[in-house]
Amino acid sequence: MPLLEIRGVMVRFGGVMAVGGVDLDAEAGQVTGLIGPNGAGKTTLFNVISGMQEPTAGQVFVGGVDITRQAPHRRAKRGLARTFQRLEVFSSLTVRDNVRVATELTTILDVSSRVDALLERVGLSHLADFPAGDLPTGSARLVEIARALATEPRLLLLDEPASGLDDSETERLGRLLRELATDGLGVLLVEHDMGLVMRVCDHIHVLDLGNIIARGTPNEIQNDGAVLQAYLGTT
């Protein structure tokens, strides 16, 4: 059974169909990519999964449990965490305290050790005592990921995490995502950096105008003529 199952999810805003009957699975221990042009419905779908947008129709399951009508905090207790396109750090807190806030919501006893381990994992130990609001965008995005991981999720939704990262940070992010999958975490990744997507994803779904138009392995997606022309800039 897939960790995440999306069945027939539809979102309509007035006369606009933002998401049109999408089916999508994401497995534990894998990085699943969700790609497509701006306005394709990717973030809307993320909002449905995380409970920030009620679907017009369809269902969302995590671990076989229907969470379609559950509040975001209940989904978090079931092991779902996410990051956002727009940075959402606590600017006045240090990097360490940003992660500590999330860690203290768990049952972990040694909070300090857990926070230190997470900062080391994302490569931010040297910035632990800096105010999060003073960080460059790339480092702030890694704070968001560390904070999401602090909740001990089973499923991590990442919305354009490589935005603002330089090449070395993107390489580190790619290694981290593969490590998380190896550890058994399910990752659903929305990303425009196609190099990163093709390196780290086990399976990719392509969304266009609210509909899945292709799905498969990175190799299959790279060799899909319509996808190459419309989304990967290749003819």
Please tell me whether residue 86 adopts helix, strand or coil conformation: coil
Residues 32 and 55 placed together within one structural domain of the fold? yes
Q: 146-183, pLDDT tens digit by residue?
A: 999 999 999 999 999 998 888 988 998 999 999 999 99
**Residue 173 located in a structural domain:** no
Residues 102 and 159 placed together within one structural domain of the fold? no
**Residue 170 located in a structural domain:** no
Task: With beta carbons less than 8 A apart as the criterion, state whether 9 and 68 touch.
Answer: no
For 67, other C-beta atoms within 10 Å of its C-beta total: 20
Residues 29 and 72 placed together within one structural domain of the fold? yes
- The fraction of the chain above a pLDDT of 90, given in percent, is 78
Residues spanned by the domain of 138: 85-152
Retrieve residue 231's tokens: 């989304």
pLDDT in the model for residue 231: 59
Q: 19-33, pLDDT tens digit by residue?
A: 999 999 999 999 999
| Distance from C-alpha of 190 to C-alpha of 170, rounded to nearest angstrom | 14
